[in-house]
């Protein structure tokens, strides 16, 4: 099979976005539109991806680096044909070329595979769509045998042609040899004074090269983004598709319209997801997990049967089976909760390994800490892990009971079955089975006379 090269047009200004950010860097599901297109190109097995850039080129390049990417500069935007021509010298003669757009982010891989399969020495593939309102698009012209003969742009179209509902998506698959013969023949003698890529269709038809049409399963696959309203429409469609996938795989969603997946989420069966939950990065959620409303889960793993209660924020953490987190818990990167642990309200953890069955139920900060099994950390316990310069470790053995309102000044180690009296500030290690109390002793003064107000 001849190698596949993908050309992505991304030189336009996108002035209707009203933004200092180049249009193709605006995000769908947390990822720049251009990166969606690049990822799709990779899934198709592209040998090389050619980005044609112009407006905001430095910004685009700065956040889009990869070995399989080659840039071509289009200094002046003289039309889509001129744009593809900028990448032409970088395309091997034997390549099959797929032309995509940096502002058409959500075309499905299957649709493009179908399109690319139509390319040969004797044929090209054209992606078209039939719209109720074709206004603004190039129209597909067909002959009596129903073969495509040309595309006419809206501004060059006759009234009769404007009535055609089949339109050009802009997406095209064609051999590099054909492009190298046709692009230099383009003229800009048209209503917009541009070099239209679409004129290659008539050239193909004239040379007896067959124009074979593919169509997407859904219009949104080929919808471009010109303004923030369209950006929001595509975002909602994308999220709707994610919700359908999750339900198909066995999740119950309290409201399929109120879940956002910005990254890769995989789930087991019988997962319950309440409203307004946001998933970011790579998240895996095992079977029978329930997630309460208003949670954010980023780059984390949640073990089977665990309950995440409302308003919890979890990032860079792994949670074992049958654990309970929240409501209002914050698990920061490096947190590892073992099975059957409990982290309750207003608890923050960071780089904390928490052993099986241990509980940190209320109002605590546990950072740079290793906790054994069946530890009970009382309300208001703080690991004082930072001396203003360096971070230090707190080690807590199996079965330790930490009384409420305790400060554990790291580095410090509590061996197994230690008990800490409430209100202690612990600065020295405590040995197995010891009780440590480190607080001012209580004095009771009888018949205390309260101060009186001065006249």
Active site residues: 362
Nearer to ligand UD1, 4 or 201 (CB): 201
Whole-number CA gyration radius for the chain: 31
Write out the binding residues for ligand UD1, residues 38-57 only, by CB under 6 A: 52
Instruction: Specify the residue, 153 or 348, whose C-beta has the smaller distance to ligand UD1.
Output: 153
Residue 259 binds ligand UD1 (CB under 6 A): no
The answer to whether residue 396 forms part of the interface with ligand UD1 (CB under 6 A) is no
Rounded Cα gap, residues 102 and 80, in angstroms: 12
Cβ of residue 101: shortest distance to ligand UD1, in angstroms? 4
Cα–Cα distance measured from residue 9 to residue 226, given in angstroms and rounded to the nearest whole number? 14
Of the pair 218, 345, the CB lying nearest ligand UD1 is at 218
Footprint of ligand UD1 on residues 67-106 (CB under 6 A)?
A: 74, 77-80, 82-83, 101-103
Sole window of 8-16, 42-50, 62-70, 314-322 interacting with ligand UD1 (rule: CB under 6 A) = 8-16
Distance CA 383, CA 363 (A): 12
Range in contact with ligand UD1 (rule: CB under 6 A) among 190-198, 259-267, 300-308, 433-441: 190-198
Stretch that binds ligand UD1, among 4-12, 61-69, 326-334, 447-455 (CB under 6 A): 4-12
Q: Which of 40, 64, 107, 168 binds ligand UD1 (CB under 6 A)?
A: 168
Give the CA angle between residues 210, 217, 197 to the nearest 5°. 40
Q: Assess 230 for contact with ligand UD1 (CB under 6 A).
A: no
Closer of 103 and 114 to ligand UD1 (Cβ)? 103
Q: Count interface residues toward ligand UD1 (CB under 6 A).
A: 26
Report in angstroms how near the CB of residue 37 gets to ligand UD1 at its nearest. 10
CB of 149 to ligand UD1, least distance (A): 15
For the CB of residue 93, give the shortest distance to ligand UD1 in the complex, in Å.
Answer: 23
By CB under 6 A, the residues from 364 to 393 that bind ligand UD1 are: none
Residue 17 or residue 314: which is nearer to ligand UD1 going by CB?
A: 17
196 binds ligand UD1 (CB under 6 A): yes
Quick one: which of 151, 243, 251, 319 contacts ligand UD1 (CB under 6 A)? Answer: 151
Near ligand UD1 by CB under 6 A: residue from 9, 211, 323, 352? 9
Q: Which residues bind ligand UD1 (CB under 6 A)?
A: 9, 11-12, 52, 74, 77-80, 82-83, 101-103, 137-138, 151, 153, 167-170, 196-198, 224
């Amino acid at each position: 099979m001849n190698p596949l090269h993908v050309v992505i047009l991304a030189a336009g200004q996108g002035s209707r976005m009203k933004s200092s950010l180049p249009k193709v860097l605006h995000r769908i599901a947390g990822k720049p539109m251009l990166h969606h297109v690049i990822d799709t190109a990779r899934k198709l097995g592209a040998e090389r991806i050619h980005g044609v850039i112009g407006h905001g080129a430095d910004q685009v390049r700065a956040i889009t680096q990869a070995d399989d990417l080659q840039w071509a500069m289009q200094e002046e935007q003289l039309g889509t044909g001129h744009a593809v021509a900028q990448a032409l010298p970088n395309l091997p003669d034997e390549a099959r070329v797929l032309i995509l757009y940096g502002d058409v982010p959500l075309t499905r891989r299957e649709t493009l595979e179908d399109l690319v399969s139509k390319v040969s020495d004797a044929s090209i593939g054209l992606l078209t769509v039939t719209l109720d309102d074709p206004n603004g698009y190039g129209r597909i012209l067909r002959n009596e045998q129903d073969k495509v003969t040309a595309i006419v742009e809206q501004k060059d179209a006759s009234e009769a042609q404007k009535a055609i509902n089949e339109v050009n998506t802009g997406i095209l698959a064609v051999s590099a040899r054909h492009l190298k013969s046709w692009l230099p023949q383009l003229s800009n003698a048209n209503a917009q004074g541009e070099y239209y890529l679409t004129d290659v269709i008539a050239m193909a038809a004239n040379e007896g090269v067959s124009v074979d049409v593919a169509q997407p399963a859904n219009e949104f696959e080929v919808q471009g983004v010109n303004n923030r309203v369209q950006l929001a429409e595509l975002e909602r469609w994308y999220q709707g598709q994610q919700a359908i996938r999750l339900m198909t795989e066995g999740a119950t969603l309290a409201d399929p319209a109120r879940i956002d997946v910005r990254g890769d989420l995989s789930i087991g069966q019988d997962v319950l997801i309440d409203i307004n939950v946001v998933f970011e990065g790579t998240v895996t959620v095992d079977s029978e997990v329930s997630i309460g409303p208003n949670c954010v889960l980023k780059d984390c793993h949640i073990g089977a049967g665990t309950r995440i209660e409302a308003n919890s924020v979890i990032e860079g953490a792994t949670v074992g089976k049958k654990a309970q987190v929240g409501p209002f818990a914050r698990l920061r990167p490096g947190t590892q909760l073992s099975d059957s642990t409990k982290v309750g309200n207003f608890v923050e953890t960071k780089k904390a390994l928490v052993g099986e069955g241990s509980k940190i139920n209320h109002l605590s900060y546990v950072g740079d800490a290793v906790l054994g099994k069946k530890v009970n950390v009382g309300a208001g316990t703080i690991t004082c892990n930072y001396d203003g310069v360096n971070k230090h470790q707190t080690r807590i053995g199996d079965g330790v009971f930490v009384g409420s309102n305790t400060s554990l000044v790291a580095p410090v180690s509590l061996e197994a079955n230690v008990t800490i009296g409430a209100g202690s500030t612990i600065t020295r290690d405590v040995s197995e089975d010891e009780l440590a109390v480190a607080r001012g002793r209580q004095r009771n003064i009888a018949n205390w006379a309260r101060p009186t107000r001065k006249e």
